[in-house]
Structure 1
Amino acid sequence: MTDMGEDKSSGAANPFMPSPDDVQHWTSVMGRAQQMMLDYVLGQANQRNSAAANLFDPASWLQNPTTQLWAEQSTKMWEQGAAFWASLATLQPSLTPDADARQDKRFADPDWTTNPVFALIRQTYGLLAEQLLATTRNMQGIDEQARAKLEFAAKNMAEALSPSNLAITNPEVIKRAVETRGESLLKGLGHMLSDLSRGQLSHVDPDAFEVGVNIATTPGKVIHETDLYQLIQYDPATKDVFAVPLVIFPPWINRFYILDLNPQKSFVKWATEQGLTVFMVSWKSADASMSEIVWDDYVSAQVDAIDTVRDLLDVPHVHTIGYCVAGTTLAATLAMLAARGEADGVKSATFLTAQVDFELAGDLKLFVDDAYLALLQQLSAPGYLDGRYMAATFNSLRGRDLIWNYVVNNYLLGNDYPPFDLLYWNGDTTNLPAKWHRQYLTELYRDNRMVIPNSLSVCGTPIDLRKIATPAYIQAGREDHIAPAASVWRMMHHLSGPRTFLLAGSGHIAGVVNPPAAGKYQYWTGDNDAVTLDDFIAGATETKGSWWPHWAGWIAAQDDKKVPAKGARIPGKGRRKAIEDAPGRYVKQR
């Protein structure tokens, strides 16, 4: 094993160690760091809530018999791993570079394979992580739900314990600190303290974008609003437009402008260029006044938006899009309208990564047990759930990419934040009505009642998905970790009308926001009568690039009649006068 201080064969100074000339500068850095931390502590003193710590008290978790068993097994594993590490260090084995190490972005620095010290750390971590996961999977006497929870916890623990996450065991961080004489660590500390003040991990410079200025810029007007949503009508981009307009329902878990990031990525702008009259719902971020909001209110809002557009343009029906939870709600809306004999108001329904059958809903089902629901109730005491908690939950599903990657880059390396609009959107959280959020988790995710005919009622009407005869376009992302493709596919079995399924490359966001000009990813189409998703994939045809043109062709096939883009087709020129310019006030409220 090589000496960390000096290469004795050449007498060269080790690049990991600062030179004596830098000691004074390092002393200055340490002083400034101490002052930064002191300023942070003083600034937080009046805001600290001692009761908050009790929400995360691990005592009750450790008293669980299953957890105790897992802890005992894990302790044995760590003892074995420590003994293995010690034996390797004693033997000082010869090192063969691992060609696979570079494939893991965490260990891309050459020193992880060429420097014996860091190579040993990396290889030992890999062994321990594998043993941790194997121990969890091999535990006896627990049901599959408990096993899934423990596997999820073990995976997150393994990612958290990666040596790349610690300054002292990450060669890239050490070299950067030496090169910058500690300034990188000081800058990273500033990033960390800023995030702690915000109560949220930053993925991007929060000042890099401004909604309505360099993000969410497609021109339009707010032409209708309620206490729950604003309705935006966008300017037409063609001389003639399709007679049937399009109403988009984005999820209220996030801001609507995921579909209008910038002119190059905007689905909204692209849709207007295809000749569609586009309307967008912008949901209000919840506050204490919305404590009694439930699913019925969101269904009623969808019906209100549909009827408002039909009345404004004097058309019998509209096309609709429901994204994620808004797609789930759109299915409930359609089932309610069908039960009431009012389904003709919707010409077609497009479901983007939306679920109605939650049996295969993936890791998010781990967050619906009694303990988690009790925690949510405590966190939602004001009548709404702070969106930062939901953001943390979603980030934990991809902890390596959305948490630890940024801990290393922002805090340890002190890198500048990237000006990435998608990451800005991801951090622009919205608050959720507490009562409805709990209802959603229990009745849909936990109890899966939506697929049981007449088990649920909305607006006083029992719903049965089998009554939905509206033509449906169902899109799923092959790598979606929020709404797994197998779960989205289940919708094909619950609707009765014509159904077209499309499987897009990538995941929950990039699989949807994939403009044709980007030339990225691919999509698959196939037998819509296939029994299973695997059967569909086995016979599917792959097409390179964006799925958007395929969808546009499907929309045109529903009704290709066109009318001049004038009168009420111009925002503010019809019976609904412009309230304000797009993107409106609601999307800017926190």
Structure 2
Amino acid sequence: MRETQQEAARMLSRMAGHGHGPTAKKLAQNIERIEDLGQRLMQAFSARSLPNPGVEGPGADLFMTATGAFMKTLTEHPARMLETQVSYWAETLTNYSRAQQALAKGQLSAPEGDEPGDKRFANPLWQSHPYFNLIKKQYLTNARALREAASELELPDQVARRRVDWLTNQIVDMMAPTNFLATNPDALEKAIETEGESLVRGLENLVRDVELNGGEMVVSLADRNAFAVGDNIGTAPGSVVHRAPLYELIQYGPSTGKVHALPLMIFPPWINKFYILDLKPQNSMIRWLLDQGHTLFIVSWKNPGPELSETGMEDYIAAYLEAMDKVRDLTDQKQLNAVGYCIAGTTLALALALLEKRGDNRVNSATFFTTLTDFSDQGEFTSFLQDDFVSGIAEEVKRHGLLRSHLMSRTMSFLRANDLVWGPAIRSYMMGEAPPAFDLLFWNGDSTNLPGRMAMQYLHGLCQKNAFAGDGFEIMGQRLHLSDVKVPLCAIACETDHIAPWKDSWRGIAAMGAKDKTFILSQSGHIAGIVNPPSKKKYGHYLSDDDFANGHETWKESASFHEGSWWPRWGEWLAERAGAMVDARTPEEGLEPAPGSYVHERVG
């Protein structure tokens, strides 16, 4: 990054040296600003805590495996390796030759290419200008060569294959010419158009992000000042009716005169904050559920600091049970319906299995949003769930008592690096653009820490050992199995979800012991597939009459597609299990108005 700063300063110096008058004066001022910002940047970086190599990248074992596979292929198949190399040389020379011919003939445009569309190369100069066209073509050639070379390695198992492929893709994405000022026509044009102002604004954005994140370089995805929870997002009216060290319990005011007898409570993930379900009125699931006549409660989790480092999965399960007791007391009902989203759905399944073991039937039905309970296929998280990376997380937890939010956010972002890392960094740091005022991205950046003990239980016991789907997950004096989950249930998964792939969610639901099971497959991803109100009519969903005996592929093949949101269909399912209609319940004054205090706690 310091090299980028110096490159920007040199460029501005050259521009200033070729100009006179106001323009040269402005460029000289920009150079001074860069020098001042550079000092601030170095000071901000100095605040970073000592790096933990274990979470900065794969361990040495992966590189040794890849090197061994390369040497084996070279030894056993030298002709194939040579053929691949010659093919690469030939394509590289062709790229160069075509660009040279275009320049020699004085052509202003390069020969047309047949590359598939890539939004990184949307600028016409990538196609029309011989210089940029050569850079693009050679990058695509290099990327293809790297991926083909990786695919030909004879690796010991599928885990090694996924890790090598993941690392290869990270290198390919990182080395894209759009990530460098000298080979990004958009950034260069913007710098000339603004007389270098865009580069200075970009450096200001970089300094701001590093200062905000304690010396870590985490690009801001949204304008932090554009939204305030409780003011223009997360505004559904209600009251905090109970507060515990780990959570606040919010009861929302009714929007109908009559409500279903059984209350509905939602457990959101504590990896993020609950207001994803209440961003604004037109896409608020909370408001929609109130309009369907439900007495609605939601848990707002504490954003933990080091004082909660020893909080474990058993503490979260205990919090579930305590919150359920409070809801039952407030509504004078023996049963309730529960919803768990993502990791909160995983924990809800554990709580349901525990209640089954205890003979406690307080939960009448359960709904799971994008929930994983069977981790036999680790999917895109394979690289992060091996011993080298998990050991690095253990060291992180030992050092800080927490799995800090920036590490979790970074891991999630690099699963979609072009969209969540490189693209935003280009717009912010090279184009000098302000982060957008986008509520979903604001929520995405409002992340939380995870208690160290809970994080390691989750990683070791659930993800690595897959104990809940296997030999049993031991907690609170019981050994819990997926087959212990027997309440009527509805599960919603999302077709392009890369965090909780739908086939893996389906597999966990299939193993549960409930006789009454409904599975809905929504279009889109982990968030957009869930926050998909009927008014939008944007994403459809799939339903199947096939049971869970023949695998997810058979289920999908037999499924019928339905236009529009899955919310109304779930609403019908829920209404059938929510009891008779009674007079609406108005929440007591409580401790304070919704959205409460815990949701405002930001990590350092």
TM-score (norm 1): 0.90
CA RMSD of aligned residues (A): 2.5
Evaluate the alpha carbon distance shift between residue 80 and residue 201 of structure 1 in structure 2; reply closer, same or farther with a 3 A threshold. Answer: farther
Q: AA paired with 1:32? A: R
Q: Secondary structure at the match of 2:535?
A: helix
- The aligned runs of 1:302-317 (5 Å cut-off) are 302-317=320-335
Structure 2: give runs of 5+ residues left out of the alignment. 1-13, 75-80, 103-109
Q: 2:501 aligned with 1:484, yes or no? A: yes
Q: Is the 8 A contact 1:78 1:128 kept in 2?
A: no
Evaluate the alpha carbon distance shift between residue 319 and residue 377 of structure 1 in structure 2; reply closer, same or farther with a 3 A threshold. Answer: same
Q: Is the 8 A contact 1:360 1:487 kept in 2?
A: yes
Q: Is the 8 A contact 1:70 1:136 kept in 2?
A: no
1:429-470 CA-partner distances (Å, limit 9, x unpaired)? 1010111101101111111110125x2222212213213221
Q: Is the 8 A contact 2:376 2:466 kept in 1?
A: yes
Q: Secondary structure at the match of 1:555?
A: helix
Q: AA paired with 2:582? A: V
Q: How many residues align?
A: 563
Give identity over the alignment, percent: 36
Q: Is the 8 A contact 1:216 1:583 kept in 2?
A: yes
Evaluate the alpha carbon distance shift between residue 442 and residue 57 of structure 1 in structure 2; reply closer, same or farther with a 3 A threshold. Answer: closer
Q: 2:104 aligned with 1:88, yes or no? A: no
CA–CA distance in structure 2, aligned partners of residues 134 and 385 of structure 1: 36
Q: Is the 8 A contact 1:361 1:483 kept in 2?
A: no
Q: 2:42 aligned with 1:65, yes or no? A: no
CA–CA distance in structure 2, aligned partners of residues 255 and 528 of structure 1: 35
Task: Look up the match of 2:400.
Answer: 382
Q: 2:42 aligned with 1:27, yes or no? A: no
Q: Is the 8 A contact 1:499 1:528 kept in 2?
A: no
Counterpart selection for 2:593 from 581, 584, 589: 581
Evaluate the alpha carbon distance shift between residue 120 and residue 442 of structure 1 in structure 2; reply closer, same or farther with a 3 A threshold. Answer: same
Task: Look up the match of 1:350.
Answer: 367
Task: Look up the match of 2:275.
Answer: 257
Q: Quote the offset at 1:136 in angstroms.
A: 1.3
Q: Quote the offset at 1:24 in angstroms.
A: 4.0
Comparing 326-335 with 520-529, greater Cα deviation is found at 520-529
Q: AA paired with 2:367? A: T
Structure 1: give runs of 5+ residues left out of the alignment. 1-15
Q: Is the 8 A contact 2:202 2:431 kept in 1?
A: yes
Task: Look up the match of 1:181.
Answer: 195
Task: Look up the match of 1:458.
Answer: 475
CA–CA distance in structure 2, aligned partners of residues 175 and 414 of structure 1: 12
CA–CA distance in structure 2, aligned partners of residues 535 and 60 of structure 1: 39
- The aligned runs of 1:127-526 (5 Å cut-off) are 127-199=141-213, 200-342=218-360, 344-380=361-397, 381-453=399-471, 455-497=472-514, 498-526=516-544
CA–CA distance in structure 1, aligned partners of residues 325 and 279 of structure 2: 27
Counterpart selection for 2:571 from 552, 555, 560: 552
1:500-558 CA-partner distances (Å, limit 9, x unpaired)? 00000001110101111112111111124051221122121111111111110111122
CA–CA distance in structure 2, aligned partners of residues 585 and 79 of structure 1: 64
CA–CA distance in structure 2, aligned partners of residues 268 and 505 of structure 1: 21
Comparing 363-372 with 109-118, greater Cα deviation is found at 363-372
Q: AA paired with 1:364? A: F
Comparing 472-481 with 18-27, greater Cα deviation is found at 18-27
Q: AA paired with 1:539? A: S
CA–CA distance in structure 2, aligned partners of residues 62 and 559 of structure 1: 53
Evaluate the alpha carbon distance shift between residue 220 and residue 398 of structure 1 in structure 2; reply closer, same or farther with a 3 A threshold. Answer: same
Q: 2:66 aligned with 1:52, yes or no? A: no
Q: Is the 8 A contact 2:337 2:578 kept in 1?
A: no
Q: Is the 8 A contact 2:59 2:389 kept in 1?
A: no
Evaluate the alpha carbon distance shift between residue 120 and residue 292 of structure 1 in structure 2; reply closer, same or farther with a 3 A threshold. Answer: same
Q: AA paired with 1:97? A: E
Q: AA paired with 2:320? A: Q
CA–CA distance in structure 1, aligned partners of residues 58 and 450 of structure 2: 29
CA–CA distance in structure 2, aligned partners of residues 471 and 55 of structure 1: 42
Q: Secondary structure at the match of 1:473?
A: strand
CA–CA distance in structure 2, aligned partners of residues 198 and 80 of structure 1: 48
Comparing 236-245 with 534-543, greater Cα deviation is found at 534-543
1:107-156 CA-partner distances (Å, limit 9, x unpaired)? 11111111111111111111111111121121124322111111111111
Q: Quote the offset at 1:208 in angstroms.
A: 1.1
Task: Look up the match of 2:3.
Answer: none
CA–CA distance in structure 2, aligned partners of residues 561 and 62 of structure 1: 60
CA–CA distance in structure 1, aligned partners of residues 195 and 86 of structure 2: 37
Q: Is the 8 A contact 1:365 1:446 kept in 2?
A: no
Evaluate the alpha carbon distance shift between residue 526 and residue 55 of structure 1 in structure 2; reply closer, same or farther with a 3 A threshold. Answer: closer
- The aligned runs of 1:533-552 (5 Å cut-off) are 533-552=552-571
Q: Secondary structure at the match of 2:202?
A: helix
Evaluate the alpha carbon distance shift between residue 551 and residue 286 of structure 1 in structure 2; reply closer, same or farther with a 3 A threshold. Answer: same
1:203-246 CA-partner distances (Å, limit 9, x unpaired)? 01111111111111111111011111110000101111111111
CA–CA distance in structure 1, aligned partners of residues 489 and 546 of structure 2: 11
Q: Quote the offset at 1:41 in angstroms.
A: 2.1
Counterpart selection for 1:562 from 557, 581, 584: 581
Q: Quote the offset at 1:87 in angstroms.
A: 5.7
Q: Is the 8 A contact 2:256 2:293 kept in 1?
A: yes
Q: Secondary structure at the match of 1:517?
A: coil
1:22-43 CA-partner distances (Å, limit 9, x unpaired)? 4443333222111111123245
